[in-house]
Amino acid sequence: MQVEKPKAAVDNRTAGRLSKPERRQQLLETARLIVREEGADRLTLGHLAVRAGVSKPVTYEHFETRTRLLIELYRWIDTERITAFRTLMAQENRPAKETVSALAKTYLACGTDQGDEFHAVGAALAGSEERAGVYQELVDAVIEMFLEVLRPHSSVRLESLALACEALVAAGDALTSAVTRGNCSASEAEEVYVNLIEAVTKC
């Protein structure tokens, strides 16, 4: 009697059973893990295929080039940060001082949570013409969020407040980078950021 060999366990994530959006999500998650564990220089479409357990054509089908993969990963990480920021800032009717404090703490926290990977991917994209457009798109979205949060509390006219928010986003990113590099503590960065926000927005 012929004995049937036991079938190997099948991982649905690598067996081609995922929908296209699910596969794309899996590839982005794996790409992020590669950046975290091995550095952005190791993120290639071929290495991504190996780590994700798929064939190389699958990664090319989703991203076409390494630059496109980096751009999509860059956008995805920042979109995650923006979503977290919006969720944490959703409470309404805060007093001005509480709003400024929450804004500073939340933006820096969201930035440092994603900081290493986001900046590593951004550095890998340095010199890419596409990166400049994507980066500006992401920055504009954050500026709009700052404007939305601060406008009810600021005595500065709208045009000036928009410019102030642009400067504050740049300052927040610089402080995030300082915390990530270990140049200052999160509490030190937060104190500086609160003072900056209050000074330029007159909240």
Domain residue spans of the chain: 12-64, 71-201
Vertex 122 angle, CA 18 and 139, to 5°: 95
pTM, rounded to two decimals:
0.68
Per-residue pLDDT tens digits for 178-196: 998 899 999 999 999 999 9
pLDDT of residue 13: 45
**Residue 124: pLDDT band by 50, 70, 90 thresholds?**
confident
The yes-or-no verdict on residue 3 having pLDDT over 70 is no
What does the longest C-alpha to C-alpha distance in the chain come to?
Answer: 87
Q: What is the mean pLDDT of residues 166-173?
A: 94
The alpha helices in 11-95, defined as continuous H runs, are: 20-38, 45-52, 56-63, 66-88
What distances in angstroms separate CA 129 from CA 43, 68, 69, 133, 143, one per listed residue? 19, 11, 14, 7, 22
Give domain 71-201's CATH architecture. Answer: Orthogonal Bundle (1.10)
9 vs 13 pLDDT, higher one: 13
pLDDT of residue 167: 95
Domains 12-64 and 71-201 share a fold: no
152 vs 85 pLDDT, higher one: 152
pLDDT of residue 115: 57
Q: How far is residue 37's CA from residue 113's CA, in Å, rounded to a whole number?
A: 15
The yes-or-no verdict on residue 138 having pLDDT over 80 is yes
Q: Which amino acid is present at 40?
A: A
pLDDT of residue 126: 77
What distances in angstroms separate CA 127 from CA 38, 95, 122, 134, 191, one per listed residue? 22, 43, 10, 13, 34
Q: What is the DSSP letter of 125?
A: T
Q: How far is residue 27's CA from residue 45's CA, in Å, rounded to a whole number?
A: 10
pLDDT of residue 81: 78
The yes-or-no verdict on residue 122 having pLDDT over 50 is yes
Tokens 């969201």, located at residue: 110
**Topology given in CATH for the domain delimited by 12-64:** Arc Repressor Mutant, subunit A (1.10.10)
Which phi and psi angles does 47 have, rounded to 5°? -70, -35
The yes-or-no verdict on residue 142 having pLDDT over 50 is yes
18 vs 131 pLDDT, higher one: 18
Q: What is the mean pLDDT of residues 28-34?
A: 95
pLDDT of residue 51: 95
Per-residue pLDDT tens digits for 39-93: 999 999 999 999 999 999 999 999 999 999 999 998 898 888 788 778 877 776 7
3 vs 159 pLDDT, higher one: 159
